[in-house]
Chains A and B, each alone.
Chain A
């Protein structure tokens, strides 16, 4: 660590940055607490805690902008076990989360085109294209992404991440840790659990070497505890959607999930989710829903279509349709019980082999059925995401079973999570209007 880097970091991040962001948050919260500040025909005001979220995310990326030379940086896949990296003091970047930021800011296409111009096919994942385009262009809406010292790729969300991280490894010439999680067509076999546990142990050894520090078991336990608490709180936040009217929608979850993906294992994440949960519980008590009038309730399947999240939300709200839950955000909460701070490595192996995307399509249908009951859902929207085959393959059968066996209206929408060129909004809107008619709104 150089003295200059350290000084610049503390000046720009700890002193100026944090202060400025805190002032922004206080100002935003003051505005949100003022009567009559909110004007929307169909939606109630967002939780005041939202201003805190903005501060958290901005702080994270601000830190990244000045981190080089002060802390080791790891780029990790969104489903990877990160507790050991946090415990070793790594600063983490999640290219998928950054991809989502680009999608929301509607610069995803621009980044994809840079990657395509350099030879990457339009048929590969748009998150990967966004990331490669960001690296090649050096431009990002978050200011600057620090270069990695280490890459950590866990295949529990897809195999795509492995090819993507091989591209990154070639680009950055840094070590790549692979945590290969055998896909579970049914119950996890013992040898698969052993395999994942061994890989996590090996990953810790590699990460220790790169960081030049040794793991302190106490520190790992503490980070795992924080991780467990954050996941548990996230789960409870999502469960508030079971109330009628729902105080929080899946559209809100898409935005508020950033800390659970990106800052799991941080005290700030636990504090933030605790405050958000308290505010949502108060809303339930007051009978304040996210929609001014909730007529029907719908479940979402697959990744969001980032570049139209707001537009989509407004369209549903205009018909009184509340998107009360999503299988996607649920994935970061459903495994809370598997995290055991007293057995961090064994429990990591168990937890990280079990995400929804690493389980069979029949198991995903079962999750949907449970959520339909728990959230008293009237219909299901399945996003057939061209960029995410593991999530999308199986949806045609799932839709058919939902419709024919359960009598639940289910619509399959063709789109992409980050490439707006794939979506025909007019066609989708027409299909949604027909879906609303089936729902009777």
Chain B
């Protein structure tokens, strides 16, 4: 399948930012609000790894039982990969990212300012209130760096743009089965949301929707939902393509769990907070097993998926805790499940590829 969209790579986008003098901020996983950065004229560029990046530099600071997303991310920073960023943001997503933020601030102390953001684990009104104040505090920290004081009107305008981009992303996912793209290409497109502007992503998504078929594709022998943190190493997506597996919905923390609902609060901080805390069920937001299971069952039924692949990063406790009860619940409902455990600093092992191929055969 060709790439008529000319999906821009992260490298190209970063190069454009640098040549045009556009400031950017490096953001570690998972939840934050892009609009807040955009209002400060900062482009968020997310750091989910990078995949297959050597962890040697981080090994002097983090134990080997820290997840590879964090170890690769720290290595990349230590090797100078974030020197051109105006700031580094470390949202508090798990114990390992908490540790990363703290090691950055207390010991490594890079020249680039490091900012943290505590994301509450509940969805109560008091969580929204707290998170709004936390976002306000982040806004103040950004103001010290950029010297800008975005107005409420400006914040609302950027929130509107992000909502449109999220809505476009949801539409693309909803129509996945009619989009003639391989899994690999599809994910390249979806993951541009992590480094291009909302307006640019929205256009890419709309162009994709315009090019889709009238009817469902006939080359999808098996439909899948993938669930996890981040679909890396990406070559596994090609293995899925070769095995006739098509991802019809995404429940990863980097994509599907960040399709934030639209909100309309008058206070822009409350609006951003409510939107993030209204995200689909997610381990990093402290969702119950029940909520996550119900969500996965809904997705698989609505998309007529035959299986769920749990794409787990080794040592990622937030994901690992849920798996036995989720798998059991799905299997009871007749949905096949497969657990793939990967270390994103390494290429996909042949064993993992074989398991994926065997899983595809078992669906036949």
Give chain B interface residues in 51-106, CB to chain A under 8 Å.
60-63, 65-66, 92, 94-96, 98-103, 105-106
On chain A, the residues within 8 Å of B98 by CB distance are 159, 183, 390, 393
Q: Is A26 an interface residue (CB 8 A)?
A: no
* Chain A residue at minimum C-beta to C-beta distance from B58: A396
Give A400 Cβ to nearest chain B Cβ, in Å.
8
Q: Could you list 12 A-B pairs, sorted by A, with CB under 8 Å?
A: A159-B121, A163-B321, A166-B286, A178-B122, A178-B286, A182-B92, A182-B134, A191-B134, A362-B102, A362-B105, A389-B65, A394-B102
Q: Given that A170-B289, A202-B126, A393-B96 are contacting pairs, would A361 and B103 also be in contact in the complex, using a CB cutoff of 8 Å?
A: yes
A155 at the interface (CB under 8 A from B): yes
Question: Which A residue's beta carbon lies closest to that of B65?
Answer: A386
Residues of B within 8 A of A425 (CB): none
Which A residues lie within 8 Å of B321 (CB)? 120, 124, 128, 160, 163-164, 166-167
> Which of A163, A361, A414 contacts B99, CB < 8 Å?
A361
A-B Cβ contacts below 8 A, count: 150
What's the dominant secondary structure at chain B's contact region? helix
Cα A163 to Cα B322 with chains together (Å): 7
Is the beta-carbon distance between A123 and B315 smaller than 8 angstroms? yes
Least Cβ distance of B329 to chain A in Å? 9
State the interface size on chain A (CB cutoff 8 A). 51
Contacts of B354 in A (CB 8 A): none
CA of A202 to CA of B96 in the docked complex: distance in angstroms?
29
Report the Cα distance A216→B100, complex, angstroms: 43
A140 to B251, CA, bound (A): 38
**Are B126 and A195 within 8 A (Cβ)?**
yes
Interface check B120, CB cutoff 8 A: yes
Q: Is the CB of B289 within 8 A of A191?
A: no
Which bucket holds chain B's interface residue count? 35 or more
The answer for the CA separation of A158 and B94 in the assembled complex, in Å, is 9
A376 proximal to B (CB < 8 A):
no
CB closest chain-B residue, reference A123: B315
B118 interface residue, CB < 8 Å from A? yes
Q: Is B95 within 8 A of A166, CB to CB?
A: no
Query: Does A16 have its Cβ within 8 Å of any Cβ on chain B?
Result: no
Q: Which residue of A lies closest to B133 (CB)?
A: A191
Q: Which partner residue on chain A sits nearest B92 by CB separation?
A: A183
Given that A120-B320, A166-B322 are contacting pairs, would A389 and B124 also be in contact in the complex, using a CB cutoff of 8 Å? Answer: no
Check A313 for interface membership: any CB of B closer than 8 A.
no
Is B105 touching A180 in the complex (CB atoms < 8 A)? no
Residues of B within 8 A of A (CB): 60-63, 65-66, 92, 94-96, 98-103, 105-107, 116, 118, 120-122, 124, 126-127, 129-130, 133-134, 137, 283, 286-290, 314-315, 317-318, 320-325, 327-328
Assess whether A70 is interfacial by the CB under 8 Å rule. Answer: no
Contact A163 B288 (CB under 8 A): no
Instruction: From known contacts A389-B65, A389-B66, A396-B62, infer whether A191 and B137 are also in contact, taking CB-CB under 8 Å.
Output: yes
Given contacts A167-B325, A182-B120, A395-B63, 18 further A-B contacts (CB under 8 A): A120-B324, A121-B323, A178-B121, A180-B122, A180-B286, A182-B118, A183-B98, A185-B102, A191-B137, A202-B124, A360-B102, A363-B106, A389-B317, A390-B95, A394-B103, A396-B62, A397-B61, A397-B107
- Which 7 pairs between the two chains have the least Cβ-Cβ distance? A393-B99, A362-B106, A119-B324, A163-B321, A191-B133, A195-B130, A397-B107
A130 part of interface (Cβ distance < 8 Å): no
Distance of A131 Cα from B263 Cα, bound (Å): 40
| Cα–Cα distance between A404 and B118 once the two chains are bound (Å) | 33
Asked, given contacts A119-B324, A159-B98, whether A192 binds B107 with beta carbons under 8 Å apart, the answer is no
The residues of B that contact A414 with a CB separation of less than 8 Å are 63
Contacting pair B325 A159 (CB below 8 A): no
Whether a CB of chain B sits under 8 angstroms from the CB of A59 is no
Render A33-77 as a binary contact track against B, CB cut-off 8 A, 1 for contact: 000000000000000000000000000000000000000000000
Q: Of A119, A159, A394, A396, which is within 8 A of B94 by CB?
A: A159
Contact B95 A389 (CB under 8 A): yes
Residues of A within 8 A of B130 (CB): 182, 191-192, 194-195
Measured CB to CB, the nearest residue on chain B to A132 is B324
A162 vs B106: C-alpha distance when bound (angstroms): 26
